[in-house]
Chain A
């Protein structure tokens, strides 16, 4: 396989199996306009609050009443409800092809420990730690090298302070806030904008929101796993608004400006999440203007555009199918033109087990190479 083919294959692998299946922006179809309804963290991801656990169970194939665990060990570990924690195991098996067979087969198991500890008086700690053996860094780009992977990854380590019902602050290490907030970290709008699996910059952020709006200003600095050429500091804001006030028509914008060793990055994006009962649409388009100074191998300025569109349909409450289209355009001197399509079906069997099947095809329009992949993912977690 030539180098271009290898890059296409690597991209296809990375782009289809990195979904941690943790956030569900598709819940917009039922009027859940943001993550805070079900997740303890207003950014989504991580442990569910008790209402979210009930929804998790109600929306599963089993569709049972949620009852907090009566297991003595679980109750003991929860320290009278102050500690919310679980273990989550995700097993992804992927077959990929670039050009002609034979392709590659990769099995990627991960184990996550997720903890939220209530400290009282509005303060809490949250952490997500992942153990893995197969690494999945972002695509290695000359102008944006990926964060370094490791066997033990601290995805999230935050101190939160909830000042009021509508205002929360957080400081620590985490993924930066994003627009449509799809769980797949391999999509262009994420993998090409430094929202990869190992990107957890040091940051402070605030969540200010009411029923119809949410504003998330943030400032960040490089994490320890960033290579020198990829270190970046900056600030940005997400702002979204529920147009019709029913929690089903959210539009938002995101802005970010970062300064790194080799240049700057300015990103502006627009996104929407809309739901219509059984189906809905998630869409985002981002512009990222980068400059690279004369110290880098290629200097000047160039623009990157990444698009994402997903139409989803809840065939059953527990069974959601999606068709997804993506597009990436990068200007010279790092010209890239990628187009991708993905079919995805996700089934929530119980509040502890889910399965997903993803078929993806990606076209490198400059190299005229197709990359294809099929992924099966099984996720199980302990219940509280």
Chain B
């Protein structure tokens, strides 16, 4: 049976380290949004892939982490999705390039602060209104702006996500570009091979209601 939620508010909070059982905001109405509904959606085990070119045409440097976690709030009114209070986090130690020594170099030269700390990468997103793609089978394009913290230093960052709803989950994939110079990070250089200042970032994740929400829903706790 098709359920109608009216102008729906989904609260999706992306946080990390992800706390899937801390879901007090889950599936609750947001104050002042009478008739709206809220839900919390977590991201667990999303992937983040970076790709940096170099001054040598045959060499690119790739890295990957499959530990992207987070939380955000989403409102949905018909086909229109709005993402709010987005927060994502990625532990530096989970990013690998396929070469242990290069990983050490990357952590040391890119992600380590002056006092020897390697804080997680953290993204805090502003409100983003997503445009549904005509004929896109429910796909929406979300241009999200916010602050990306690298070495604990926040800088403006924007990413465009393609979001598809699948049941009570949202599948998202998107691309953005990080400028190392914006964080005062020198371009890594080794034996004449220097990476570009622009590092392309691709993320993919599935955001789902927190586990406790799902359990409650199965028990009939959410109507």
By a CB distance below 8 angstroms, the chain A residues around B61 are: 31
By a CB distance below 8 angstroms, the chain B residues around A166 are: 57
Assuming the contacts A50-B191, A50-B192, A51-B192, asked whether A29 and B98 have C-beta atoms less than 8 A apart, the reply is yes
By a CB distance below 8 angstroms, the chain A residues around B60 are: 31, 211, 246-247
Q: Is the CB of A36 within 8 A of B98?
A: no
Q: Is the CB of A317 within 8 A of B191?
A: no
Complex Cα spacing A50 to B99, Å: 17
Complex Cα spacing A247 to B99, Å: 16
Q: Is the CB of B62 within 8 A of A55?
A: no
- Asked if A210 is at the interface of the complex by the 8 Å CB criterion, the answer is yes
B60 to chain A, nearest CB (A): 5
- Asked if B59 is at the interface of the complex by the 8 Å CB criterion, the answer is yes
- Asked if B179 is at the interface of the complex by the 8 Å CB criterion, the answer is no
- Asked if A30 is at the interface of the complex by the 8 Å CB criterion, the answer is yes
Q: Is the CB of B57 within 8 A of A51?
A: no
- Asked if A32 is at the interface of the complex by the 8 Å CB criterion, the answer is yes
Assuming the contacts A165-B57, A246-B51, asked whether A54 and B100 have C-beta atoms less than 8 A apart, the reply is no
B130 to chain A, nearest CB (A): 26
Count, chain B residues at interface, CB 8 A: 20
Write out, one digit per residue, whether chain A residues 141-161 have a CB within 8 A of any chain B CB (1) or not (0). 000000000000000000000
Q: Is the CB of B53 within 8 A of A31?
A: no
Interface size bracket, A side: 20 to 34
Which among B53, B64, B102 has the greatest number of chain A C-beta atoms within 10 A? Answer: B102
Write out, one digit per residue, whether chain B residues 43-59 have a CB within 8 A of any chain A CB (1) or not (0). 00000000101001111
Of the residues B51, B57, B99, contact of A317 by C-beta under 8 Å: B99
Q: Is the CB of B192 within 8 A of A209?
A: no
- Asked if A63 is at the interface of the complex by the 8 Å CB criterion, the answer is yes
By a CB distance below 8 angstroms, the chain B residues around A57 are: 101
Complex: chain A residue closest to B202, CB-CB: A246
Which among B59, B97, B192 has the greatest number of chain A C-beta atoms within 10 A? Answer: B59
Complex Cα spacing A33 to B61, Å: 12
By a CB distance below 8 angstroms, the chain B residues around A53 are: 191
Assuming the contacts A51-B192, A51-B193, asked whether A210 and B57 have C-beta atoms less than 8 A apart, the reply is yes
Complex Cα spacing A32 to B97, Å: 12
Complex: chain B residue closest to A33, CB-CB: B58
Contacts beyond the supplied A32-B58, A165-B57, A247-B60: 17 A-B pairs with Cβ under 8 Å: A29-B98, A30-B97, A31-B60, A31-B61, A33-B58, A36-B57, A51-B56, A51-B191, A51-B192, A53-B191, A54-B190, A54-B191, A66-B191, A277-B64, A277-B98, A278-B98, A317-B100
Q: Could you jot down 6 A-B contacts, CB within 8 Å? A: A32-B58, A36-B57, A37-B58, A247-B60, A317-B99, A317-B100
